[in-house]
Each structure stands twice: as C-alpha cells, then as structure tokens.
Amino acid sequence: MKKALVTGVTGQDGAYLSKLLLEKNYRVFGACRRTSSVNLWRMGTLDILSHPNFHIVDFDLTDASGAIRLLDRIQPDEVYNLAAQSFVSVSFDQPLTTGEITGLGAVNLLEAIRIVNPRIRFYQASTSEMFGKVQAVPQNEDTPFYPRSPYGAAKLYAHWMTVNYRESYGIFAASGILFNHESPLRGLEFVTRKITDAVAKISLGKLDVLELGNLDACRDWGYAEEYVDGMWRMLQTDTPETYVLATGRTEKVRDFVDMAFRAMDVELEWSGEGQDEQGTDSRSGQVRVRVNPVFYRPAEVDLLIGDPSKAERDLGWKPRTTLEELCRMMVEADLERNRNGFSF
C-alpha cells in the first residue's frame, strides 16, 4: 500500500486530494497545523475523517525540524505540498508571513526529502499567479513569469526551488502551475464562493447587496475535484516536470456574477463604471451588486487564461466540467447550507 503525506489537508484541494488517494487505496497522512478551533469541515463533508487509512498528523510548514521528523516517521512514497497562505489579498498585508509559509515552507519539505529519503516524490502547488502581469496569451509552461503580489512572488520562489532540487539532486519534484479552481468547498474569501454564497443569501432574503472589488479581472476557472487528479498524475510519470492545468477559457468576475444570479433566475442590469458600477435586479429594480474599493488590490492580475495541452498530451488530463455547471453546483450547495442556517 502506497503512503502519501498531504499538507494543507484542511483546505479545499487537500480534502479532495485525500479523498482521491483513499479511493486509490493509499494510506493518507493529512498534515494539520495546531489551531485553537477545529477546521475539519471539508474532510467531514467528503466523509473521509473516519476512513481507516486516513490519519491526521500535526505539522506546521514553517517548522523545518518537524518536517524531517515527520518524513522520517511516516516514510511516505509521495508528498503533496498544498499548504500555503493562499489568499492574494492578505499577502499584501502579511508579506513576511506569506514568504515564510508559501515560499520557504516548500523548501523545508524539499530539504527534509533530501535528508531523509531522496526517493520520495514531491508535488509543489504552484500557481497561475506567478504569470501575474500578462506577458503572453494563453499562458503555458514556457510563458515568462511576472508575479504581482507577495503571494505570487513567494510561490515563484517555491517553484524555482522545486525545479532546482529536481535538477541539483535528482529528486522527483514536480510543479503543477494550476489556474484558479473552485468548488462548493472553496473558502468564502475567494471571489467565486463569495458570490455564490451571497446569491444564495439574497435569494433567501438574508442579504440585500453583494459588495465586490474589480469586476473586470479575467480568470480561467475550473473544477477543483478534477485538478487534484492532475496533481496525482504528475507524480505517476517517468520524469518529474512542470505542467499547467487550466480550462483554456477565461471570463470576467462580472460574468461569473451574472452566471450565479442567472442560476437563481435573476437577470442583472449593469450601470455606472469602475467604482460606481452596480448591478440591478431587472425585475424588482433592487440593487444587488455594488463595487466597494476596499476589495481592490494594490496591484492586479488582469488576465489569466491557461493552455493545458502539455498535461493533456503527457498526462491524459482534461477538464470536463463547464463553468456554468460549476457555478450552478456552488450556488446549489450554498442554498442548501444557508437554508440549514450555516455557511463555512
């Protein structure tokens, strides 16, 4: 039976990946950092907490000696590093913490692998945020990087260190440059889930207006459950490489807002521009969406659209769920949660 260590297991991807690995008959060690409140709801939703092959282990990514001891104790075949301070907005307020966790944290694991057992395979959760300011469209594995946030810069450091450990020490270290991927398990701070949760609340009469920042940013949004399968595939090849996972379709934040309201049979009419823009329910005349400059970032990534053809060719990986299907799935999950009186 193969053993995998998954960092960031309390997050969206960690939960989906653990479920996938358990289905593939792995023994899965989910690494959690110590917090004062329990944060196991995603694993609970996917019903993996009581699985006999699933084990929660204590680990903070910033703890270098803890990484060595953990790998020595578990002796995993594969390590998936999904832990990060992953919210771009917060990285502007906490650049040093973000650098320590999101950047240096990956090197703690790479070093531990080098010291404990260089045959352990390593996956690094890299990101389209590394492309940042548009250098080419669509973006692929050869597109130059230009990160636009402390988060993007920290991830770029971790990405290059992954490549470096691959080339310097022959470690099987793969880097997945994943474009935005969403699901009903997405954190409420990210824009898609913020929108679908608000749309559910508005339709249940629990909220009047949704406030957002830049509506013109374009993102390539896919379905998280499909993307974790791509991560696994990257560690099953003969040679470690860098792969882009994306859908190849880009939409504006405003278009996702329209899509989510349409899932509730509400058509929005847009008026105004920039910070004065608002969306009105065409039937009731009520303002439902308003721009609030507080949600703008010091520097924005304007246009992300990925070219996943290398992953398609080498890994047989392909996105299947359309953005409309994904958006509807998220709205329906949020309706259900809000009807039951809670949303995480």
Catalytic residue among 7, 127, 162, 247: 127
Cα–Cα distance, 42 to 53 (Å, whole number)? 17
* Active site annotation includes 129: yes
CB of residue 225 to ligand GDR, shortest distance in Å: 15
* Active site annotation includes 273: no
Contact 152, 132 (CB under 8 A): yes
* Active site annotation includes 127: yes
Cα–Cα distance, 178 to 80 (Å, whole number)? 14
- Measured from the CB atom, the residue of 300 and 312 that comes closer to ligand GDR is 300
Show Cβ contacts of residue 281 under 8 Å, excluding neighbours closer than 6 positions.
261, 266, 267, 268, 287, 288
List the one residue from 39, 168, 282, 292 that touches ligand NDP (CB under 6 A).
39
Show Cβ contacts of residue 19 under 8 Å, excluding neighbours closer than 6 positions.
46, 48
Is residue 83 part of the contact set for ligand NDP (CB under 6 A)? yes
List the one residue from 4, 14, 192, 234 that touches ligand NDP (CB under 6 A).
14
Is residue 85 part of the contact set for ligand NDP (CB under 6 A)? yes
The partner residues of 289 in beta bridges, in order of sequence, read 210, 279
Q: Which two tokens stand for residue 211?
A: 């406030």
Catalytic residue among 16, 78, 80, 129: 129
Q: How far is CA 337 from the centre of its chain?
A: 21
List the one residue from 4, 5, 28, 61 that touches ligand NDP (CB under 6 A).
61
Cα–Cα distance, 65 to 186 (Å, whole number)? 31
For residue 295, the partner it binds in ligand NDP, ligand GDR, none, with Cβ less than 5 to 8 A by kind, is ligand GDR
**Footprint on this chain of ligand GDR (rule: CB under 6 A):** 86, 88-89, 127-129, 179-180, 189-191, 194, 212-214, 217, 219, 253, 295, 297, 300
Active site residues: 127, 129, 151
